[in-house]
């Protein structure tokens, strides 16, 4: 069964970096109607640690969810855009694993970037997203984890580790990788 992307791209006009994942997890794993919605995914904890020195800055521990309105205000203020590399997929297993996603429709990345004239960087959060971006730009090789490449003039790709807890890297090392990217972009 083909699953279409349930969210619209989040593209602030002042965005300087576009985060691209692969595709959201199944809706039953969501704690909010926004990007990186799985409560056990550490994306918003990583951002909280980097920008506020508090991994729980965007976490509502009582409700076991993220503070979506605060996240949106923060992203608008900083100029951080979010979407995924697929707009439609076939989920081969009922889980969030990229290994079982068959992409049916690819995102038109350049169309997204046209909405953000200040955007000069793409940050991918995982191997599948990185592979998809490199294929879109006809790159024969993908950067190693924590690496970067030029996709075209004025556009750099930063490959970040997945914020999923299934990815075998400590939280602190993920924070450092994301911090290095943000320092380069901002």
Give the mean pLDDT of 151-172: 94
**pLDDT over 70 (residue 28):** yes
Residues 6 or more apart whose CB falls under 8 angstroms from that of 130 comprise 124, 142, 143, 157, 159
Q: Would you state the pLDDT for residue 179?
A: 97
Residues 6 or more apart whose CB falls under 8 angstroms from that of 179 comprise 50
Q: Which of 20, 164, 13, 17 has the alpha carbon at shortest distance from 80?
A: 17
Concatenated DSSP letters of 101-113: EEEEEE--HHHHH
- Give the chain's mean pLDDT: 94
CATH number, domain at 163?
3.40.470.10
Give the mean pLDDT of 159-184: 95
Domain range for 129 is 2-185
**pLDDT over 90 (residue 166):** no
Please report which confidence band the pLDDT of residue 174 belongs to, taking 50, 70 and 90 as the band edges. Answer: very high
pTM: 0.94
Q: What is the dihedral of CA 136, 140, 143, 144, to 10 degrees?
A: 130
Residues 6 or more apart whose CB falls under 8 angstroms from that of 62 comprise none
User: Are the C-beta atoms of residues 13 and 96 closer than 8 Å to each other?
Assistant: no
How many domains is the chain built from? 1
Q: Which of 54, 57, 47, 56 has the alpha carbon at shortest distance from 17?
A: 47
């Amino acid at each position: 069964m083909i699953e279409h992307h349930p969210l619209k791209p989040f593209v602030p006009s002042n965005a300087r970096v576009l985060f691209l994942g692969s595709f959201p997890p199944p809706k039953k794993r969501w704690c909010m109607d926004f990007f990186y919605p799985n409560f056990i995914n550490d994306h918003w904890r990583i951002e909280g640690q980097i920008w506020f020195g508090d991994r729980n800055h965007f976490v509502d521990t009582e409700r076991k969810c993220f503070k979506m309105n605060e996240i949106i205000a923060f992203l608008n203020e900083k100029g951080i855009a979010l979407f995924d590399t697929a707009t439609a997929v076939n989920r081969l297993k009922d889980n969030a694993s990229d290994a079982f996603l068959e992409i049916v429709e690819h995102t038109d990345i350049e169309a997204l970037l046209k909405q953000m004239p200040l955007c000069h960087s793409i940050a991918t959060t995982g191997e599948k997203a990185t592979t998809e971006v490199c294929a879109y730009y006809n790159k024969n090789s993908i950067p190693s984890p924590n690496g970067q490449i030029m996709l075209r003039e004025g556009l750099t790709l930063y490959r970040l580790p997945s914020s999923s807890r299934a990815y075998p890297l400590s939280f602190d090392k993920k924070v450092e990788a994301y911090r290095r990217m943000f320092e380069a972009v901002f």
